């Protein structure tokens, strides 16, 4: 099998169906939503509404892209909402102390990255503690720290540079949309063309096999949670700019929204498979559905009910479809037995990897290939 490129095999396949198969359900639902929304509510597809929709989903977008790598590594991060709030508070405090706005933004992002690496990455990567327990504990601790630091009070933002992150425009496009575009391009590059992206898939597929191949799993996991913390901090800065204030109230639903978008986009909760393109489609569908229901006058409570039901059906259907496909892949691999036992093992692994849409290089773990 050809392995000279780094990235999910499905994205290198020349056939369109192979490329879109992992996130085909959410793509179909998004197209249906666009069709129904355009026919029943013409304002839904208006340029102004679409831009407002993207801006409103900018925070979830950035956090969900990073969460994709966390879940592909077989992890989970419940602390992103707390880190986002912390970054907003750091930003306001530094500006209040006379620090230039651009430097305050940089420090806030660095702070979020450091918290993600230390509070989550070290405990998950080095100490091998449960990701659920670690990230839940860090979420709780950070929330408490924010309450003690701020006295549960919020602070308004008056700096023009920070506010321009929400209200500014470049080439007629809102700045948050440019931020979304840049983060997507970076995430795609990391996923497809870097050794780190390949290592994340390998660790999520089998941490033990990854270590045997020479991949430093601890370092990879620390980096993954550092990226998640940094992305949460960026989301916190952008969110503070949009609201014009840094609130001390932690949005614990941010992590759940990001996780829902990632899973809806076809990434496996068990790790080892997924793509940022699927995550983006998940974010757009969740945000678009909420926007359409709001325009249609559906009460807020029913919006939550309908969104929850659709998410369960979508994620459950995708999981069932993928489970059937994996069983068929295993059956096909078993029927193509070779006389040489070792060759059979390697070929079967490669075939299985391709069908799960993870990097073909991961298949080389069984033969000891890796970055070293």
Report helix, strand or coil for 359. Answer: strand
How many Å apart are CA 130 and CA 128, to the nearest integer? Answer: 7
Q: CA dist 2 to 45, 312, 352, 359, Å?
A: 42, 37, 15, 11
How many Å apart are CA 56 and CA 174, to the nearest integer? Answer: 11
How many Å apart are CA 96 and CA 31, to the nearest integer? Answer: 46
Only one residue has tokens 């995430």, namely: 187
The pLDDT assigned to 181 comes to: 95
Average per-residue pLDDT for the chain: 81
Nearest-CA neighbor of 167 among 81, 74, 51? 51
Q: Which helix (H) or strand (E) holds 170?
A: strand 169-170
The pLDDT assigned to 78 comes to: 93
Sort 222 into a burial class: Cβ within 10 Å, 0-12 / 13-18 / 19+.
Answer: buried
Asked if residue 2 is part of any domain, the answer here is: no
> CA-CA-CA-CA torsion for 225, 226, 232, 237, nearest 10 degrees?
170
The pLDDT assigned to 334 comes to: 58
The pLDDT assigned to 26 comes to: 86
Asked if residue 239 is part of any domain, the answer here is: yes
Asked if residue 329 is part of any domain, the answer here is: yes
Please compute, for residue 74, the number of CA atoms within 13 A of its CA located in the half-sphere on the CB side: 20
Asked if residue 198 is part of any domain, the answer here is: yes
CATH number at residue 270: 1.10.3470
The pLDDT assigned to 9 comes to: 46
Low-confidence ranges of the chain (pLDDT < 50): 1-13, 336-372
The pLDDT assigned to 339 comes to: 44
The pLDDT assigned to 324 comes to: 58
How many domains is the chain partitioned into structurally?
1
- Encoding tokens for residue 34? 């666009």
Asked if residue 14 is part of any domain, the answer here is: yes
- Encoding tokens for residue 142? 């950070």
Give the strand pairing for 169-170 and 155-156.
unpaired
Asked if residue 225 is part of any domain, the answer here is: yes
Q: Give the domain extent around 321.
A: 9-367
Backbone angles phi, psi at 79, to 5 degrees: -95, 0
- Determine the length of the chain: 372
Only one residue has tokens 């900018």, namely: 58
Neighbours of 190 (CB within 10 A): 18
Asked if residue 4 is part of any domain, the answer here is: no
The pLDDT assigned to 363 comes to: 39
Dump pLDDT digits (tens) for 169-198.
Answer: 888 889 999 999 999 999 999 999 999 999
Asked if residue 1 is part of any domain, the answer here is: no
The pLDDT assigned to 214 comes to: 86
């Amino acid at each position: 099998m050809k392995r000279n490129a780094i990235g999910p095999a499905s994205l290198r396949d020349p056939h369109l169906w192979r490329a879109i198969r992992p996130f085909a359900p959410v793509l179909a639902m998004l197209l249906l939503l666009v069709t129904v929304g355009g026919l029943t509510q013409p304002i839904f597809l208006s340029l102004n509404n679409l831009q407002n929709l993207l801006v409103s989903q900018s925070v979830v977008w950035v956090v969900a892209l990073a969460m994709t790598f966390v879940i592909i590594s077989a992890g989970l991060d419940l602390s992103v909402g707390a880190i986002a709030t912390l970054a907003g508070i750091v930003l306001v405090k530094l500006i209040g102390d006379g620090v230039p706005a651009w430097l305050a933004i940089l420090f806030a992002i660095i702070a979020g990255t450091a918290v993600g690496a230390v509070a989550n990455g070290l405990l998950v990567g080095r100490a091998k503690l449960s990701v659920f327990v670690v990230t839940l504990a860090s979420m709780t601790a950070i929330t408490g720290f924010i309450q003690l630091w701020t006295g549960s009070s919020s602070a308004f933002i008056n700096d023009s540079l920070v506010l321009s992150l929400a209200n500014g425009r470049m080439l007629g496009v809102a700045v948050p949309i440019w931020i979304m575009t840049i983060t997507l391009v970076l995430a795609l590059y990391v996923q497809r063309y870097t050794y780190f992206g390949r290592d994340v898939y390998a660790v999520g597929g089998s941490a033990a096999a990854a270590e045997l191949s020479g991949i430093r799993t601890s370092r990879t996991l620390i980096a993954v949670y550092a990226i998640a913390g940094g992305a949460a901090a960026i989301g916190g800065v952008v969110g503070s700019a949009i609201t014009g204030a840094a609130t001390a109230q932690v949005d614990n639903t941010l992590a759940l929204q990001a996780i829902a978008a990632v899973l809806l986009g076809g990434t496996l909760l068990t790790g080892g498979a997924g793509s940022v393109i699927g995550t983006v489609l998940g974010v757009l569908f969740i945000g678009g559905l909420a926007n359409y229901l709001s325009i249609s006058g559906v009460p807020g409570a029913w919006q939550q009910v309908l969104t929850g039901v659709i998410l369960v059906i979508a994620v459950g259907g995708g999981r069932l479809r993928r489970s059937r496909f994996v069983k068929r892949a295993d059956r096909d691999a078993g029927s193509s037995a070779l006389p040489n036992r070792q060759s059979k093992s390697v070929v079967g692994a490669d075939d299985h990897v391709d069908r799960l849409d993870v990097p073909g290089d991961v298949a080389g773990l069984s033969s000891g290939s890796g970055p070293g």
